[in-house]
Structure 1
Amino acid sequence: MNINYIIGLVGALAVFLFGCITSLTVYPEFSFSVNIDNLWNFFDAASILIVIGCTLFIVAASFPGSMLKAMPKHFGIILKTKVFDPMHYIEQLVELAQIARKNGLLSLEEKANEQTDPFFKQAIMLIVDANDQDKVRAILENDIECMNARHEDAAAMYDKASSVAPAFGMVGTLVGLINMLKSMDVEGGAGDLGGAMGTALITTLYGCIMAHMVFGPVAQLLRGRDEEEVLCKQIIVEGVMAIQAGENPKALKERLLTYMAQREREMGDTKGGGE
């Protein structure tokens, strides 16, 4: 579970709500009070309709239905941690290198069928089938590029929502100001000024919250998951290329460890030594 995301989102919302209900004065004398009823000042149905409704419909108009259906999957992805562990792949590749040196590349077919990662299985089978090295690398790198493009499209959907939400916040502000000015021309309509002005300001607030508390973090986390997956697949590509070339398993491990930060390498060595 991605605790950082949950803590960050809940914490930001909690601080925001606390600020809404809190009154703090320092000068000329210190005073502190909490009024929960203030929360109702920040609720406006028209603002919710304009900001959230229009944002969702514009996103729906900008992207294909298949991407919209994948939104629950996207939230599932960002809530998970350690889906892609580079050290796990390095250890498997070193084991495959040892098997290949002893029994040949054909002996890796059984190991390939045990893989749950389709990309890893494909990479092993390509060298088992004795394909040319350049061809194997081209196929695998093209797979990575296409995957990266798909992931970027998904993140772009949330970028779009993040940019559209504040825009419709400003639209709501204009709507509120127009209604306020119209009310000033109507006899006895001054009582509507407060509500119209509230809508004008609250829509901007809702737009900022949606952009920076919801959509922005999702786009950033999706890109982070993509980077993790790309790293692991790059390790797989380099690993299977080295295995096909008959590289020494120890030298292979040292080379693949360069893809990881020094601290992660030391943690991996410690874990491996204890097993």
Structure 2
Amino acid sequence: MDFTSIIGIISCILLVVSGIIVEKTGNVDIGALINFADPQSALIVIGGTFAALFASFSLTSLKEVPKHLKIIMTKDKHNPNDYIDAIVGCAEIARKNGLLALEEHANEQEDPFLKSSLLLIVDAIDADKVRAMLEGDLGYMNARHEEAVSIYEKGSALAPAFGMIGTLIGLINMLAGLDLNVEGGTDSLTSGMAVALITTFYGSMLANVFFTPIANKLQVRHEREVLCKEIVIEGILSIQSGENPKFIREKLMSFLSEKDKMSLSDSGDGEDGDKKKKKPKKEKKKK
């Protein structure tokens, strides 16, 4: 599980609530929360935002929302280092036993994209056609993910807009019923202004605590998945052309950041170091 999104959203809410109930003197006034509770404002902002989203996107796209929430709460399975190791392992098998030997190995892969990519080169399809097919799949995935992210980006734009609509409605009603000649007219002005501004508060909270973080998290996951798929495409074509596994590893590492390169290099150096430590022991036995 990836709890960063949940922790972040809950922390935002708690910090805002703390700012409302904690006074300058340090005392806690729970009753202050009542000033921010207004069912009509919530109906305008929350109801209006989701109604506008319903009008903006197809039902098929909106049905994917639970899937999106599951994605941001689960651990990201797309680790570029793991993909590089898997491709290099496939390259070593192909170098020793030929491309046909990869068919059984392909069926063991959990990633459908990697599995289908391996099967394409096992079937001896032309390299240009393999690249075109894989890049086509990548393009379709980009389109799907862009639509998913756009739902939450649109929501982050609509929520403050409906907050402003609610504020305007409140101000119009307040000014229409305002009569300063009557006793207590000034008090009704200040209380009406406070109620009118609550909708802006609701809209800002909905946009910045819910929609924007989800959109950003989905975008980060998308970029990570695209990187892994680009690594797969380049690695598969390199295997098909019969390149050396060590050269393939070096080529694919160019996709990584310097930090990821160091971690991958350190793991490889550790294995070599173990082998080097074992050699002197064998030499002593021979003597």
TM-score, normalised to structure 1, is 0.92
Matched, 1:45 2:39: yes
- Which residue of the partner structure matches residue 282 of structure 2? none
Equivalent residue in structure 1 for 2:211, among 209, 215, 222: 215
Calculate the aligned-residue CA RMSD, in Å: 1.9
Question: Could you say which structure has the larger radius of gyration?
Answer: 2
Counterpart code for 1:154? A
Is the CA contact (8 Å cut-off) linking 2:76 and 2:221 kept in structure 1? Answer: no
- What is aligned with 1:145? 139
How far is 1:193 from its partner?
4.7
Give CA-to-partner distance per residue, 1:212-236, whole Å, 9 cap, x none: 1110011111111100100000000
SS of the aligned residue for 1:23 comes to coil
Q: 1:87 Cα deviation (Å)? A: 1.0
Structure 2 CA distance, aligned partners of 1:160 and 1:45? 24
Alignment of 1:1-275 (within 5 A): 1-24=1-24, 31-184=25-178, 190=185, 193=189, 196-272=192-268, 273=270
The alpha-carbon deviation at position 270 of structure 1 amounts to 3.4
For the Cα contact (< 8 Å) 1:183–1:193, is it kept in 2?
no
Amino acid paired to 2:65: M
Give the Cα–Cα distance (whole angstroms) in 2 for the partners of residues 120 and 198 of structure 1.
57
Total equivalences in the alignment: 269
| Structure 2 residue ranges without an equivalent (≥5) | 275-287
Amino acid at match of 2:250: E
Q: Match of 2:241, as an amino acid?
A: A
For residue 5 of structure 1, report the CA deviation from its aligned partner. Answer: 2.2
Q: 1:101–1:246: 8 Å Cα contact kept in structure 2?
A: yes
1:66 Cα deviation from its structure 2 partner? 1.3
Deviation at 1:4, TM superposition (A): 2.8
Where does structure 1 lack aligned partners over 5 or more consecutive residues?
Answer: 25-30
TM-superposed CA distance for 1:242, in Å, is 0.3
- What's the CA shift for 1:189? 9.2
Which region of structure 1 is more displaced relative to structure 2, 191-200 or 91-100? 191-200
| Deviating more after overlay: 230-239 vs 193-202 | 193-202
CA distance in 2, matches of 1:68, 1:193: 41
Inter-partner Cα distance in structure 2 for 1:116 and 1:32: 55
SS in 1 for 2:26: strand
SS of equivalent residue, structure 1 residue 201: helix
Q: Secondary structure at the match of 1:247?
A: coil
Given that 2:103 and 2:119 are in contact with CA atoms closer than 8 Å, whether structure 1 keeps it comes out as yes
Q: Percent identity?
A: 48
Whichever residue aligns with residue 229 of structure 2, its letter is K
Displacement after TM superposition at 1:12 (Å)? 1.6
- Distance in 1, matches of 2:51 and 2:256, equals 42
Answer whether contact 1:176 1:198 (CA < 8 A) is retained. Answer: no
CA drift of 1:116 comes to 2.0
Query: TM (normalized to structure 2)?
Result: 0.88
1:46–1:199 CA contact under 8 A, matched in 2: no
